[in-house]
Every structure is written in C-alpha cells, then in structure tokens.
C-alpha cells in the first residue's frame, strides 16, 4: 500500500494550465503499477500531483477500503487536486460513494473514462469522432441499464443518489449506436474500395501495429522520409503527408498513411492507434474500422519497445498476437525498436528470452536510424512474391505508354531497344503482370484493316 504526493521521476512536464490529479489503483495481489495510468493522465492534460495504491480484494461500496478512501481524501486536500483518476473499472455506485468522501467539486475518473477523454481530444476526422462517440455510448449503455434496474427495484428514481433515470435514455442510446454503426460501415466500404484502388496501382499495403509509445509514428517517419506522398499525384490525393511522433500516448488516433519507396516495391505505410493493456471488448470493437487497416494489410510490422522489461515485452507481444491473428492473414514481422537505449549485450539477452513469442525479430532504432536499412530489406522479403515477366513490343506511342505504366506499377530490371522493338524485363504483383500482358496483347495486335 502507498500514498504519495509529487510526480514520478522522468515523467513529462504537464502542460501549462492543466488540472491537478491524484492517480490511484487497487490490485488483488502484488504491487500496483501506476506508470501507464500516469502517462494516460498526462496525455489527457492532467498534472499528476500524487499517487495512491492499495493491495486488497475489491470493496463493493468503494472499490478501495474505507480507510484508504479517507487517505485519498487527505491526499487530495494536501495537493489541491481537482480530480482523482482510478486505474480500475469503477462502477457508478462506487464512483458516487468515493465522490461523497472527497472534497466538493473533485471529479472521480475511472480508467476507461480517461481513455475516452483522450480519444475525444485526438478525434480530428469524422471517422475518429464517430468511433469515440460509439465507445462512449457503449460505455454508458450498461450503466443506463443498471440505473433502470436499480430504479425499478427501489420503485423510485435516483436510486442510491445515482440521479433520476428515464427509460427512454436507454432506448435512445441503442438507437444512436445503430445509426453510428451504419455510418461507420459506409465509411469502411469506401476505405476498402480505396485500398483495392491502391493495390491496383501497384502499391503494397504495410501496417504498423503495437502498443502506444512503442515508437510507431517515429518509425513511420524514418521509413517514409525519403519519399513522402506526392500531393500532385491524382491517384493518392487522400493520403496524409505527415505523422506525428511525440513522446505521448495516443498521438495517433486515426490512421495516417505515407508512401515509402523500397528498392523494388512501392509501399504505403499506415500507422494506426496504439494498443493499450486491459481494454474491454466494447472499446476494442468501437475502433474495429480503424483496425481494418491492420487486418487488411499485405504485411504487418508489430513494433515493440525493446527498452521495456522482458516480462512487459512478453505480455504485450502475447496480447498483440491475440489481436492480430484473430482476423489477420498477412505475415507479421516483429520489430524491436529503441535499441539505442539498451546496454551492450542486452539485445541478445532479450532476443533469447522472447524467442518463443518473437522468433525472428528485427532490431532498429527509429530515433537514430540504426537497422532501418535491414528493416526495408525484410519488408520486401516478407511481402507476397512477385512474378517475373518479359514483354517484347513494337515501338509506338501506345507501347511507350505501356512501358511507362510498367515502371509505375512494378520493378523494371531491364529495358532495351533493338530496331523497331522494345523489350521490358520486369517484376510485379501477379495482378499487375496479368494486366500488363493484356495491355501488351492490345498494343501488339495488328490494325483491324490489315487483319481483315
């Protein structure tokens, strides 16, 4: 058990004007870890003014024991905190009881409310806003149902001080959930059509996945900085040309896509919202359309913070695999990032310790660029195999257009001219090779009047 004031060492400074908060957590056994909830609080704009933990079984009325709640109240008073952030799933009855002990005006925020608050701050697109709203409604629905049940049982509204309840609220929430699902489904259909258009243009789709603060956005900038999306390219006007990389959780909420050119292949990289531990099913489901960018990719790069302890890395790898392999059929390459933070010999030790869950990881530092060249090679090796083709065409305007198209959609190993013929030796996706053959047949066909 513990209760202390002040910020943890190494914690990022809170933004000016942020609200002061106490972070608290109860665990059934062992030591409670407040590192992640403190990061989440900072990401939401709170200044962590104090910490409190307790190891005991859950108290039905207060989550913590009554004595610990009194300690929490005293800590709030000493630090002038405006909120208490509890790293547990706190029920509405428990929230009401804790709030009743705290000084007036101090808000009680549980883990999932905090996450939704962060998501709401980061939602800058219609899709992201809908997903946040859906998550909020799914969070509220069981609480609305509980209020209805309690009010009926007590035969009066406002059971246990939870507030007056109108049964129409529950119906309205379900209606809104249905409407948002329909709109998100429409957006998902458009995005799937866009993905297929990109594949038809010869692009391979690579998704970055992993936990928050693993360095996905920084790695994306490193991989894509040689060739950002051409804003004048009519085929890809929809692509974002930037991806933030700050030391903050959930900097990336929606998807960000940039173009990266490998040695042979044109690749589109997509960075998505980071995974986070202990997310309930309803919250993961709310962001299912964002995860489609991962599920429907040609290759997934699972980015892991190699500077974390082995036990934490293993837990995150196992959880990530459960999420990825549930629906994903593409190969997954594990990337150990932040190797610049490791002591000599530490990387080899972690490779050996995690060989069961990460049998062939590639080690990089997105910050320094170490290992990125090897990662590029690995990406090309892991992507679906290309076919080799050789076209011999009569020199003409149509043939030159086809040669240009092949350059745009594949990798041309050799292009030679002899007399009135041009020979193109290239590699490309099977679908691109098939289209090139069909175009070549049209270019090489004699004019209709000559064949008559």
CATH no. for residue 62?
3.40.50.11060
Q: At a CB cut-off of 8 Å and minimum separation 6, what does 147 contact?
A: 92, 159, 162, 163, 165
- Across the chain, mean pLDDT equals 80
Residue 167: the pLDDT is: 66
* % of the chain at pLDDT higher than 90: 36
Alpha carbon distance 66, 72 (integer Å): 10
Q: Which CATH number goes with the domain that contains 401?
A: 3.30.70
Whether residue 30 is contained in a domain is answered as yes
Clarify whether residues 349 and 276 are in a common domain: yes
The answer to whether position 365 is within a domain reads yes
Based on the domain organization, do 370 and 230 belong to the same domain? yes
The SS3 call for residue 277 is coil
Residues 107, 131, single domain; the answer is: no
Q: Show the DSSP H helices in 165-244 as ranges.
A: 167-200, 216-224
Domain count, the chain: 4
Can you give the pLDDT at residue 301? 94
User: Where residue 332 sits, what CATH number does that domain have?
Assistant: 3.40.50.300
* Annotated binding residue 210: yes
241 annotated ligand binder = no
Determine if residue 338 is labeled as part of a ligand binding site.
yes
Q: Is residue 213 annotated as involved in ligand binding?
A: yes
* 334 annotated as a binding-site residue: no
- Element (H or E) spanning 390, and its range? strand 387-394
Is 211 assigned a ligand-binding role in the annotation? yes
The Cα angle at residue 212 between residues 211 and 213, in degrees rounded to 5: 115
pLDDT tens figures, 94-140:
988 999 999 999 999 988 888 888 878 877 778 778 888 888 888 88
Torsion of the alpha carbons at 258, 119, 305 and 369, rounded to the nearest 10: 30
- Classify burial at 272, counting beta carbons within 10 Å of its beta carbon; exposed 0-12, middle 13-18, buried 19 or more: buried
**Does residue 437 sit within a domain?**
yes
Summarised one tens digit per residue, pLDDT across range 255-307 is 678 888 788 888 888 887 677 766 666 666 666 666 777 778 889 999 999 99
Residue 416 lies in a domain: yes
For residue 422, give its domain range.
Answer: 387-445
Mean of the pLDDT values across residues 382-402? 89
Range in 35-44, 245-254, 407-416 with the lowest mean pLDDT? 245-254
Same domain flag for 327 and 291: yes
Residues 367 and 246: their CA atoms lie apart, in Å, by 12
Tell whether residue 125 is among the known ligand binding residues: no
Contacts of 153 (CB under 8 A, 6+ apart): 159
Q: Based on the fold, state whether residues 305 and 260 are members of the same structural domain.
A: yes
Q: Is 97 annotated as a binding residue?
A: no
pLDDT at site 367 = 92
Binding residue per annotation — 80?
no
Contact 306, 336 (CB under 8 A): yes
Look at residue 78 and give its three-state secondary structure: helix
pTM: 0.64
Domain-embedded: residue 6: yes
Query: Which of 346, 367, 382 is the endpoint of a domain?
Result: 382
Q: Is residue 451 part of a domain?
A: no
pLDDT digits (tens, 9 = 90+) for 26-55: 999 999 999 889 988 998 899 999 999 999
User: Is the same domain home to 240 and 378?
Assistant: yes
Distance CA 386, CA 389 (A): 10
Residue 366 annotated as binding? yes
Dihedral sign from CA coordinates of 359, 210, 135, 82: positive
272 is in an annotated binding site: yes
Per-residue model confidence (pLDDT) at position 191: 78
271 is in an annotated binding site: yes
- Residue located via tokens 């800058």: 124
Give the closest residue to 125 by CA, choosing from 66, 63, 184, 70: 184
Q: Which of 119, 148, 183 is the last residue of a domain?
A: 119
95 has binding-site annotation: no
Is residue 46 one of the residues assigned to a domain?
A: yes
Pair (277, 367) in one structural domain: yes
Considering the domain architecture, whether residues 309 and 427 belong to the same structural domain is answered as no
Q: Are residues 53 and 101 in the same domain?
A: yes
- Enumerate residues 6+ apart whose C-beta is below 8 A from 212: 249, 250, 274, 275, 276
CB 405 within 8 A of CB 439: yes
Instruction: Check the annotation: does 214 bind a ligand.
Output: yes
Please report where in the chains the tokens 């005293």 appear, as a residue. Answer: 74
My answer on whether 147 and 101 are in the same domain is no
Identify whether residues 336 and 412 lie together within a single domain. no
Structure tokens at 4: 């202390």
- Phi and psi torsions of 139, nearest 5°: -70, -40
Do the annotations mark residue 340 as ligand-binding?
yes
Question: Is there a domain that residue 452 lies in?
Answer: no
State the angle between helix axes of 288-295 and 126-154 in degrees (0 to 180), rounded to the nearest 10: 130
Tell me: pLDDT of 450 over 90.
no
User: Among 141, 165, 191, which residue terminates a domain?
Assistant: 191
Of the chain, the end-to-end C-alpha distance in Å amounts to 93
- Say what the pLDDT of residue 189 is: 83
Same domain, 328 and 342: yes
- Is 217 annotated to bind a ligand? Reply is yes
The residue among 203, 190, 383 whose CA lies nearest residue 298 is 383
């Amino acid at each position: 058990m513990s209760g202390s004031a002040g910020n943890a060492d190494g914690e990022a400074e809170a933004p000016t004007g942020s609200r002061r908060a106490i972070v608290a957590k109860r665990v059934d056994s062992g030591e409670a870890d407040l590192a992640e909830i403190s990061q989440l609080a900072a990401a939401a704009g709170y200044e962590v003014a104090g910490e409190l933990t307790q190891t005991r079984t859950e108290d039905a009325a207060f989550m913590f024991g009554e004595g610990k709640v009194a300690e929490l109240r005293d800590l709030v008073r000493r630090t002038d905190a405006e909120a208490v952030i509890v790293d547990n799933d706190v029920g509405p009855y428990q929230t009401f009881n804790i709030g009743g002990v705290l000084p007036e005006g101090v808000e009680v925020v549980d883990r999932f409310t905090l996450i939704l608050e962060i998501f709401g701050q980061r939602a800058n697109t219609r899709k992201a806003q809908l997903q946040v709203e859906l998550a909020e409604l799914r969070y509220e629905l069981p609480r609305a149902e509980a209020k209805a049940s309690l009010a009926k049982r007590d035969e009066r509204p406002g059971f246990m001080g939870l507030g007056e309840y109108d049964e129409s609220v529950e119906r309205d929430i379900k209606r809104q959930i249905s409407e948002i699902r329909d709109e998100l489904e429409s957006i998902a259909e458009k995005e799937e059509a866009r993905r297929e258009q990109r594949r038809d243009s010869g692009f391979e789709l690579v998704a970055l996945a992993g936990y928050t603060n693993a360095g996905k956005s920084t790695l994306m900038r490193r991989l894509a900085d040689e060739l950002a999306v051409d804003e004048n390219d009519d085929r890809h006007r929809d692509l974002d040309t930037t991806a933030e990389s700050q030391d903050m959780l959930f900097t990336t909420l929606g998807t960000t896509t940039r173009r990266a050119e490998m040695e042979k292949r044109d690749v589109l990289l997509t960075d998505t919202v980071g995974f986070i531990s202990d997310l309930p099913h309803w919250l993961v489901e709310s962001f299912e359309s964002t995860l489609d960018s991962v599920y429907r990719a040609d290759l997934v790069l699972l980015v892991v913070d190699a500077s974390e302890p082995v036990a934490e890395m293993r837990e995150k790898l196992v959880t990530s695999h459960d999420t990825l392999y549930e629906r994903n059929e593409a190969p997954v390459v594990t990337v150990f990032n932040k190797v610049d933070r490791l002591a000599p010999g530490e990387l080899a030790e972690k490779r050996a310790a995690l060989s069961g869950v990460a049998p062939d990881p590639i080690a990089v530092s997105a910050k320094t660029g170490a290992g990125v060249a090897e990662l590029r090679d690995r990406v090309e090796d892991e992507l679906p195999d290309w076919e080799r083709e050789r076209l011999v065409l009569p020199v003409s305007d149509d043939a030159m257009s086809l040669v240009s198209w092949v350059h745009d959609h594949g990798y041309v190993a050799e292009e030679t001219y002899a007399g009135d013929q041009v020979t193109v030796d290239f590699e490309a996706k099977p679908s691109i090779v098939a289209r090139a053959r069909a175009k070549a047949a049209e270019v090489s066909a004699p004019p209709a009047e000559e064949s008559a």
